[in-house]
Structure 1
């Protein structure tokens, strides 16, 4: 067994869907807000807000907002090839999404890397994001294959100060 590394992790899931559909769900405002976010805004290098169905591009900036969390994540699109790979800055690190066709299904490979290795980042980024991405990839699969969302969009979970650590469907 390899030694645990605090600076990166990888999560994988098979989803019965064509790569293009999954890429659209990650790489457009309309797509990413259908299963993952409450709001998303992408701006081009020129400062123009991308249309809901327009693909993100390298150099775009983004602002993401979730249900049941008052904060927002701001970052940059590092790479987006228009078909099967995206890389963004995220939570003091980077996240890549790679889509690969395997025997009539697509495997989604999410890697978060360049994670700082201080104690706070080990808890909040490595542990927190690793758990978070596990849920969100399962949510993506449920949405694509069964048309249901597992995340809570109607009940205010924020009234519990430990909600982000206790609820699996934030």
Structure 2
């Protein structure tokens, strides 16, 4: 049976590093900027900007900026869950929800990214299912490259 559900997907990567390092890569502004974003800003409920090495918490608001785009291309959202060890959930494009689950299997650390509530779109150029799945696949590969070899695959020359 073919699953034609275009409202959710999962991307899984294995990493030769510890769970704590992977969690820091997802749960701190500094960590996200090493492999994913040009700039990651998180704001506490009181509106204070989190420090680069400070862990995000549930209900933080975020503003994310990418290499290759100016500051008008900003993704804004909220942290829905962050347990401090191995799980993060946040709102994302088109009111979708992304969950990051980090665990160990067969001696390697696994990052399992699930994106749900993706709005269905009749215009293929606006299809978040495809755009996000391709994007997350690249960034998971870049996270692996950074964590295991220190090589950043992003093209920062367009920034």
Shorter-chain TM-score: which interval?
A: over 0.9
C-alpha spacing 1:116/1:23, structure 2 compared with 1 (3 Å): same
TM-score by length of 1: 0.87
- What residue is the counterpart of 1:114 in the other structure? 117
- Is 1:90–2:92 an aligned residue pair? yes
Assess if the C-alpha contact under 8 Å between 1:6 and 1:122 holds in 2. Answer: no
How far, CA to CA, are the matches of 1:116 and 1:124 in structure 2? 8
Structure 2: give runs of 5+ residues left out of the alignment. none
- Is 1:77–2:79 an aligned residue pair? yes
What's the CA shift for 1:123? 4.1
Aligned-residue CA RMSD (Å)? 1.5
Select which of 147, 150, 153 maps to 1:150. 153
Instruction: For residue 115 of structure 2, give the secondary structure of its aligned residue in structure 1.
Output: strand
How far, CA to CA, are the matches of 2:83 and 2:118 in structure 1? 23
Instruction: For residue 137 of structure 2, give the secondary structure of its aligned residue in structure 1.
Output: helix
Assess if the C-alpha contact under 8 Å between 1:84 and 1:100 holds in 2. Answer: yes
Structure 1: give runs of 5+ residues left out of the alignment. 158-170
How far, CA to CA, are the matches of 2:126 and 2:114 in structure 1? 17
Q: How many residues align?
A: 156
What's the CA shift for 1:102? 1.1
Instruction: For residue 48 of structure 1, give the secondary structure of its aligned residue in structure 2.
Output: coil
Instruction: For residue 58 of structure 2, give the secondary structure of its aligned residue in structure 1.
Output: coil
Instruction: For residue 156 of structure 2, give the secondary structure of its aligned residue in structure 1.
Output: coil
How far, CA to CA, are the matches of 1:23 and 1:121 in structure 2? 33
What's the CA shift for 1:34? 0.9
TM-score by length of 2: 0.93
